[in-house]
Structure 1
Amino acid sequence: MEPPPPPARRPRLGLLPRVLLAIVLGILVGLVAPDWLTRTMATFNGLFSNFLGFVIPLIILGLIAPAIGELGRGAGKWLALTAGIAYTSTVLAGLLGFGVSMAVLPGLLEGRGAPEVANPEDALLSPWFEIEMDPAFGVMTALLLAFTLGVGMTLVKGDTLQRGFEEFREIVNKVISGIIIPLLPVYILGVFLNMTAGGEVWRVISTFAGVVLMVFVLTAVLLLAQFGVAGALSSRNPLVLLKNMLPAYATALGTSSSAATIPVTLRQTLKNGVSEPVASFVIPLCATIHLAGSMVKLTCFSVAVMLLSGQDVATGTMIGFILLLGIMMIAAPGVPGGAVMAAVALLESNLGFNESQVGLMIATYIAIDSFGTATNVTGDGAIAQIVDRLARMRGFRRTDADEQPAAGAEIAPA
């Protein structure tokens, strides 16, 4: 007698459906949730967010350093190339936002004045308790360590340190696949539940509904342009490449954090055929330096606030603001709302914003923070595709590590 066939595995719900379900549930439950439930979810979110803050520098170091080592002696030029592409993309996004804003917003906002709107974060309920989880080092320190050690490993003989970092990468991937990915939908549910219960977010969105719609369209145009270039260089269908990045877009939509979305962005980039060393190098790096979506939002909202306040918008001043902001936002290491906080000094010094204008800017930005973040991380996949294609054109030889399961391949089933 033949043994009975093994029971069929039940199909698991993919990450994208789980994230979308979490968003919908968060909004619906937030409309009727009692304060105790909202505060309980806020407590979980606070703990999970603090854990992310602790582990993100380790993820950056654990992914970038061995990836640079695998790139070989030419790693320095790939670092410069990736940073140059990311900065160019961010600045072009800002110029796009400024040009469209000057064409559309004067007519759209004619006759309106700047409203008094509170910071949406002030309306959120506080958690029951908090536990501080200080990271071993900051994000910029992690980046510098990864660059220094990674490039150093390409210059010295022996592979002891390289093998050590490859094992460290395996530990990082286990943390990603065993803790971060499974809990992300719960975290996203808590974010939207708390925002809905607070109510202030929706008032900000309704006040700037026309500007928000314009920004959303611009981010879609930006992604189509980025993947159009990536598809042309790699001879791949750009719409297929963009479709494969949708789980990263949806995850960032829920977390509002580029850094927290690194595991999903990496997994989807590998799915698009990018080699492991390039993906493991580009994705964590771009999570901190590529902020094209955030740049579009900041530029458009800056122009909107200036027009609502009756302030003149000088082209030269705005171009200088965009060029400097592309550098300043590197200080916003993928945390929710980090880009606008990094921009406050420039808003005051370059654009002459007063305290009330800065407050309105922060409130408006945070209300739809996740859309810019989702555009940032999705565009990271396009940059990885471009760098991978250039690497192959220059004769970059894939290492033996590429014959092994890709980093992040165990992260979660699609």
Structure 2
Amino acid sequence: MKEKKKLGLVPKLIIAIILGILIGQFLPEEICRIVVTLSGLFSSFLKFVIPLMILAYVTMGIADLSQGAGKLLLITVALAYGSTLIAGTASFLVSINLFPSFMSADALDQIAATADASLSPYFSISLQAILDTLSAVALAFILGLCLSSMRGKQIGNSLYNGMAEFSKIIDKVLHTVIIPLLPLYICGTFVDMTKSGKTFAILSILWKVFLVVIVMHLICILIQFVIAGAVSKKNPFELIKNQVPGYTTALGTQSSAATIPVNLECAKNDGVCEQIRNFVVPLCANIHMAGSMITITACATAVCLMNQLPISLGTVIPFIMTLGVAMVASPGAPGGSIMTALPFLYMIFGAEAGDPDGAICAIMVALYITQDSFGTACNVSGDNAIGVIVNTIYERFIKKEA
């Protein structure tokens, strides 16, 4: 008996957007408010879970870095973080110069005119988070760094094992509640936007943003493999050809973690030795987020321009630097990176517009996840470019020393 194919998250979100537009366009306000109420309840739960998600994933991501091999670990982390920062900065510079030409004065005026025309829910629940997001990040850094340096030396494994199990609990919540209900969240947002009259003005802009982001991903992959080819003295186009299976797998799974087995084969075809590829590929699947950073930065820039919020390199750089660390070990599920990024969007949007359960952040989630496959594919492709570079350094310098 053939197993039924499950509908992926991106098709579900596209359906949710279409349903939201149809409900907002044709159904009475009373029905629309029901959808908005359900979406708002989910938003409150999401706001509660986000700090717990940060605490679980960032703590374990940092704690597990101790399992690397000294110099190679530092080199790999530096390359991954540097790549992520450069990709995000380049994405902002391209976006801030290109996106304004997409945005007509009429569309911006239409969006601005409907700013206060949102539907109100029938009721809401005030669900306070146990930790605020900054406290969660600080605690995660403290726990992660101490566990990585003290485990097995000054303390045992009890706290590490406890955090690992807590991480699995949060992962279960993400897969069984957060991800499945995201379409409802997005549907409610588009019901509200359609009823208030801003949907079509926004969509006329977003499809152009989508195309630019995909082109930036492809250019990023090309640059990474050209650098890897130059360092290793290998043909970069041959390296890119070897990466095709990993790229297409990531497009289908939307998960860096799920692509690891295929990506290891790609690394083998690139001539990366077993010791290095078994270390670099799984590690970079958790810490190298260049594609995701390109998407998040471009989407944030577009949203700021659409809503006439101030944005500059001075506000974007701290955001990219923070997110480059916070996305360490972001969930291996569709939308994991944007879920991790949500609590930090206030750094760009401001406290009010950057509310994780607000409409602007909901637009960010929708826009990001429709491009998540391409961002993930860019991430995993860059992982193997880093693998080629690390392998070259290992063979030329570290292996000889040993």
User: Shorter-chain TM-score: what band?
Assistant: 0.5 to 0.7
The unaligned stretches of length 5 or more in structure 1 are 1-7, 250-263, 312-317, 347-354, 397-414
Instruction: Specify the code of the residue in structure 2 equivalent to 1:390.
Output: I
Corresponding residue number in structure 1 for 2:3: 11
Residue 240 (structure 2) pairs with residue 244 (structure 1): no
Corresponding residue number in structure 2 for 1:253: none
For the 8 Å contact 1:286–1:380, the answer to whether it is kept is yes
Change in CA separation of 1:93 and 1:184 when aligned onto 2, cut-off 3 Å: same
Corresponding residue number in structure 1 for 2:393: 394
Change in CA separation of 1:147 and 1:277 when aligned onto 2, cut-off 3 Å: farther
Alpha-carbon deviations, 1:225-275, whole Å to 9, x = none?
A: 2333456645554554333223565xxxxxxxxxxxxxx443335553376
Instruction: Specify the code of the residue in structure 2 equivalent to 1:134.
Output: I
For the 8 Å contact 2:83–2:290, the answer to whether it is kept is no
> In structure 2, how many angstroms separate the alpha carbons of the residues matched to 1:272 and 1:169?
28
Alpha-carbon deviations, 1:210-237, whole Å to 9, x = none?
A: 5323211111101222333456645554
For the 8 Å contact 2:35–2:188, the answer to whether it is kept is no
2:53 to 52, 55, 61: 55
Alpha-carbon deviations, 1:395-414, whole Å to 9, x = none?
A: 39xxxxxxxxxxxxxxxxxx
Change in CA separation of 1:218 and 1:113 when aligned onto 2, cut-off 3 Å: closer
Corresponding residue number in structure 2 for 1:403: none
Give the 3-state SS of the residue equivalent to 1:199 in structure 2: helix
Structural RMSD (CA): 4.6
Corresponding residue number in structure 2 for 1:325: 316
Residue 293 (structure 2) pairs with residue 291 (structure 1): yes
Residue 16 (structure 2) pairs with residue 20 (structure 1): no
> In structure 2, how many angstroms separate the alpha carbons of the residues matched to 1:391 and 1:380?
16
Deviation at 1:181, TM superposition (A): 1.7
1:73 to 55, 65, 70: 70
> In structure 2, how many angstroms separate the alpha carbons of the residues matched to 1:338 and 1:124?
23
Alpha-carbon deviations, 1:122-171, whole Å to 9, x = none?
A: 54637643443414951244245434543x36xx985975x667745752
Give the 3-state SS of the residue equivalent to 2:8 in structure 1: helix
Deviation at 1:88, TM superposition (A): 0.6
Residues 175-184 or 220-229, more deviating: 175-184
For the 8 Å contact 2:108–2:306, the answer to whether it is kept is no
> In structure 2, how many angstroms separate the alpha carbons of the residues matched to 1:337 and 1:271?
30
1:186-225 matched pairs, under 5 angstroms:
186-200=180-194, 203-225=197-219
Corresponding residue number in structure 1 for 2:125: 129
Deviation at 1:93, TM superposition (A): 1.1
Corresponding residue number in structure 2 for 1:267: 258
For the 8 Å contact 1:227–1:239, the answer to whether it is kept is no
Change in CA separation of 1:92 and 1:22 when aligned onto 2, cut-off 3 Å: closer
For the 8 Å contact 1:247–1:268, the answer to whether it is kept is no
Alpha-carbon deviations, 1:32-58, whole Å to 9, x = none?
A: 556446534543453355234313321
Q: How many residues align?
A: 343
Give the 3-state SS of the residue equivalent to 2:130 in structure 1: coil
Deviation at 1:63, TM superposition (A): 3.0
For the 8 Å contact 2:224–2:385, the answer to whether it is kept is yes
Instruction: Specify the code of the residue in structure 1 equivalent to 2:183.
Output: L
Give the 3-state SS of the residue equivalent to 1:88 in structure 2: helix
1:344-355 matched pairs, under 5 angstroms:
344=349
Corresponding residue number in structure 2 for 1:255: none
**Which TM-score applies when normalising by structure 1?**
0.63
Deviation at 1:340, TM superposition (A): 4.7
Corresponding residue number in structure 2 for 1:258: none
2:104 to 98, 109, 115: 109
> In structure 2, how many angstroms separate the alpha carbons of the residues matched to 1:51 and 1:110?
38
Instruction: Specify the code of the residue in structure 2 equivalent to 1:268.
Output: T
Give the 3-state SS of the residue equivalent to 2:198 in structure 1: helix
